[in-house]
Amino acid sequence: MAQARAHPNIALVKYWGKAPGSDNKPASPSISLTIDELETVTRVSAAKKETIRLNGKLVQDKKISNFLRLFDEAFGTGPLNIESSNNFPTGSGLASSASGFAALVTALNETFELGLDLPERSIWARRGSGSAARSMCSGIATLEEVSGDWQAREISAPSRWPLSVVVAITTEDRKSVSSSVGMERSRSTSPFYKAWIANATKEFDTCKAAIKNKDFQQLGMITESSCLQMHAVMMSSYPALIYWNEVTVNCIRAVREMRSQGLDVFFSIDAGPQIKAICLPEGSSKVESLLRNVKGVKRTINCGLGLGAHTVTND
């Protein structure tokens, strides 16, 4: 039996679209921040029959079961008992599948003493959920093609360039269209999809340069652009994928207003209605108090950069 902890990550250059074929490879590279405060803790143990508990409830989860079947085929791990808990809303655009699969792979590696290294663990996490590969890494990570496979790499440790992410929760409801279904819908129906994938690859290089130079303004420009392009692709899919609500729009306006008042801050939004405001640590309390006062915001969480998935001692 083993237990592991992983944090969600927020993409700066987004992943929204898969390469043709199986194995869950992305169609374009991405970059993200692993955040602290939000976390998934997952325990794995051998069992007579597979059981999956999410936040204390017994569930049937096809995505997890399919992944466990693949893992069993590769390593002969047999039926397992999985218990996973999140300290934040599940399935509502806060990357719970990223932290979930990162924690699961880390706990599996430990339980069966497989000795998988970080690139291998990230490839396995990606097979579960594309974004999960990046939650294997601390600080800032890429998901890119390396030696013929898609794996995550840490490109900036939390201490090298500390950044803050203020999460504004606008609703705790689950999203109605999963990311996998949404990506396929965008690929097959959005007239902007091809341009989006081509441009993501260019923005990936520009974003990496901004991180190398610790250029906050450039990072902000690329991040908001990647986020809005992705949502334009989502909205131009058929049926349209509109993950925002009215509070999301209020928060976008608030962040732009903060910027016009001289605060260094930019926003990002994933496949859900929550806002993530990325800022420098010295400005994060101010950003948090301003976002908390935006009409409709339920609560805020002030995060720093977090550690990659790691094992934890059993209680």
State in angstroms the smallest separation of the CB of 17 from ligand 2P0: 10
Would strands 9-13 and 30-34 be described as parallel, antiparallel, or unpaired? Answer: antiparallel
Torsion of CA 36, 309, 169, 59, to 10 degrees: -150
State in angstroms the smallest separation of the CB of 275 from ligand 2P0: 13
Closer residue to ligand 2P0 (CB): 29 or 220? 29
> What span, in angstroms and rounded, lies between the C-alpha atoms of 76 and 12?
37
State in angstroms the smallest separation of the CB of 192 from ligand 2P0: 16
268 sits near ligand 2P0 (criterion: CB under 6 A): no
Terminal C-alpha separation, the chain: 12
15 sits near ligand 2P0 (criterion: CB under 6 A): yes
14 sits near ligand 2P0 (criterion: CB under 6 A): yes
Cβ–Cβ under 8 Å, residues 245 and 231 = no
Closer residue to ligand 2P0 (CB): 232 or 263? 232
69: which 2 tokens? 């079947």
State in angstroms the smallest separation of the CB of 280 from ligand 2P0: 22
> What span, in angstroms and rounded, lies between the C-alpha atoms of 310 and 3?
9
Closest CA to 40 of 179, 151, 135, 156: 135
Site for ligand 2P0 in 127-186 (CB under 6 A): 129-131, 179-180
> What span, in angstroms and rounded, lies between the C-alpha atoms of 298 and 25?
35
Specify the stretch interacting with ligand 2P0 by CB under 6 A; choose among 14-22, 33-41, 117-125, 200-208: 14-22
In the complex, which residues of this chain contact ligand 2P0 (CB under 6 A)?
Answer: 11, 14-16, 24, 30, 97-98, 129-131, 179-180, 270-271
